[in-house]
A and B are shown apart, each in its own frame.
Chain A
């Protein structure tokens, strides 16, 4: 039996939640004070995901911008976050770029695209 301790982020209360696991199965969730905490804890121990945000270089900007901000178009497994930032480290995007433009398809093999989050002329 494995025990995982989490801080719930669903509200400012920040309940300290204890999740007991048998392999990949959640056996019990305790310490939460509402149902939202239970849902959060189960997702966080079985399939934690994050949206990755970063910024990458641009070339040829008319306004002199150096970087364009970007994000993964959907959340990716938390364990793959560092792979994503490594994969986009050396990207240079020619201008203009618009919000939503795909900067890199299937970033780090996650099946998710990297998209621009600002317009750069």
Chain B
């Protein structure tokens, strides 16, 4: 059996950043496993710009952003295998992978970084009535077809869901000559970034209908029409509000789910809220030496934050492999979220294992205005930041510093709250 100190599952933005940071932390026995024909993951099909504002202080397209990290990987001569699908990982960190070139291989790792990303929710998870014709695509599939394969999936398009990929595809399909009729969103607010609503819908006069959903898909072989209707506060369609659109395509942009089949298989504890592994301050899961970062951990809005998070996971994986990250100190303090955050990443922290600072990321459950994000250590408010508006579509973060922690040497409780005032 082959052995590597750090094995990284996935060669997308999270896997690339984790590999580079593990290397820079002094670990040179690293292997990245990628199932696609190339590194870069989803960034390869995200040809729009807006990536890297935080990381590189410039606006890059997805492929350009990916290439910056691929270059770093290659400069360091970090090993990677393409066309290689990981089938199974055991608790003992034996990775079983297969590829055309090598057949089935088994690799013993000292530390593992889970970086498998996420995938789109599909029609099957929505319960939309109607036929099952061709012409119903997830927004990401349409994105790949248009940007990488050179096909336009349809001419007259209805979009269900206002996630960022759906908004981006509204613009992309319009530029390629399709007519995007409407974007329907079941929630009373959009799940996408503001700049995407303005630059992808408003710029092209595409209406966004909030509190609306698809109630019927027509067409036997190919979509011929879609009916949308307004929903009430329980998200039930209101009779009499139906509107029919003649179209040949329905794009679904209805959410992303972290891809955790491998994690589940090896016994990693998953959060019922963000659907990714429950992790501590080192981004380590309940299995010692197994770390997670990026969209497999929780779905991000910005790749910059994926890279940042994965750098932490890579560094910690290197430390674990080198024996300098201890397993458990018995002081894992859960981060409480009474009022506001739906979840936090990390979920727990051990003050002894935090360096200069710790970034805690979270999302709120509904749109909130004129609030403060307050952080309490043993009931003392150590941080209070005003937020004019918070929305579920925009990830929030707070920075816990060494200085705050040092002021509470016998720390027993941590709470992050979103409060009025």
Give the B-binding residues of A (Cβ under 8 A): 6-9, 11-14, 33, 50-55, 57, 63, 65-67, 69-71, 78, 81-82, 85, 99, 117-119
Answer whether A7 and B59 are a contact pair too, CB < 8 Å, given A12-B194, A71-B49: no
Q: Mark B58-84, 1 if CB is under 8 A from A, else 0.
A: 011111100100000000000000000
Distance in Å from the Cβ of B174 to the closest Cβ of chain A? Answer: 9
Could you say which of B44, B49, B64, B394 contacts A99, with CB atoms under 8 Å apart? B64
Contact call A9/B199, Cβ cutoff below 8 A? yes
Cα–Cα, bound, A51→B58 (Å): 13
* Contact in complex: B198, A7 (CB < 8 Å): yes
Binds A, one of B94-102, B112-120, B144-152: B144-152
Q: Is B391 an interface position by the 8 A CB rule?
A: yes
Cβ of A24 to closest chain B Cβ, rounded Å: 20
CB distance from B146 to the nearest CB of A (A): 8
In the complex, A9→B63 CA distance in Å?
Answer: 24
- Residue among A33, A70, A71 with the most chain B CB within 10 A? A71
Task: Check B194–A14 contact: CB distance below 8 A.
Answer: yes
Say yes or no: A78 contacts B148, CB within 8 Å: no
Q: B61 touches which one: A9, A53, A67 (CB < 8 A)?
A: A53
Q: Give the chain A neighbours of B203 by CB distance below 8 A.
A: 50, 78
Q: Which residues of A contact B403 (CB under 8 A)?
A: none
Nearest-neighbor residue (CB-CB) of B149 within chain A: A66
Question: What are 9 pairs between A and B in contact, CB < 8 Å?
Answer: A12-B394, A13-B388, A14-B389, A63-B38, A67-B149, A67-B150, A69-B61, A117-B64, A118-B61
* One of A7, A54, A65, A67 near B175 (C-beta < 8 A): A54
User: What separation, in Å, do the CA atoms of A52 and B391 have in the docked complex?
Assistant: 28
Is the CB of B197 closer than 8 A to any CB of chain A? yes
- In the complex, the answer to whether A67 meets B147 with C-beta atoms within 8 Å is yes
Q: What is the distance, in angstroms, from B298's C-beta to the closest C-beta of chain A?
A: 18
**Chain A residues near B247 (CB-CB < 8 A):** none
Q: Which of A12, A65, A71, A85 has the most CB of B within 10 A?
A: A12
B-chain residues with CB within 8 Å of residue A52 when the two chains form the complex: 175
0 or 1 for each of B26-52: is its CB under 8 Å from A? (1 = yes): 000000000001100000100111000
User: What's the minimum C-beta distance from B333 to chain A, rounded to whole angstroms?
Assistant: 30
Q: Which 9 A-B pairs have the closest CB atoms?
A: A118-B63, A69-B47, A9-B195, A117-B61, A13-B389, A14-B194, A85-B175, A66-B150, A9-B198
Cβ of B176 under 8 Å from chain A: yes
CB distance from A5 to the nearest CB of B (A): 10
- Taking A67-B148, A118-B44 as contacts, is the C-beta distance between A7 and B194 under 8 angstroms? yes
Q: Are A118 and B49 interface neighbours, CB within 8 A?
A: no
Among B63, B64, B148, B197, residue most surrounded by chain A Cβ atoms (within 10 Å): B63
Contact of B148 among A53, A55, A85, A119 (CB under 8 A): A55
Chain B residues lying within 8 Å of A53, measured Cβ to Cβ, are 47-49, 61
Within 8 A of A (CB), among B143-165: 146-150
A63 CA to B83 CA, complexed, in Å: 13
Shortest A96–chain B CB gap in Å is 14
Closest residue on chain B to residue A33 by CB atoms: B388
Question: Which residue of B59, B147, B390, B391 is within 8 Å of A69 (Cβ)?
Answer: B147
Known pairs A50-B203, A57-B150, A119-B67; list 19 more (Cβ under 8 Å): A7-B202, A9-B195, A11-B194, A13-B388, A54-B47, A55-B147, A55-B148, A55-B150, A63-B37, A65-B148, A66-B150, A67-B147, A67-B148, A67-B150, A70-B47, A71-B47, A71-B61, A118-B61, A118-B67
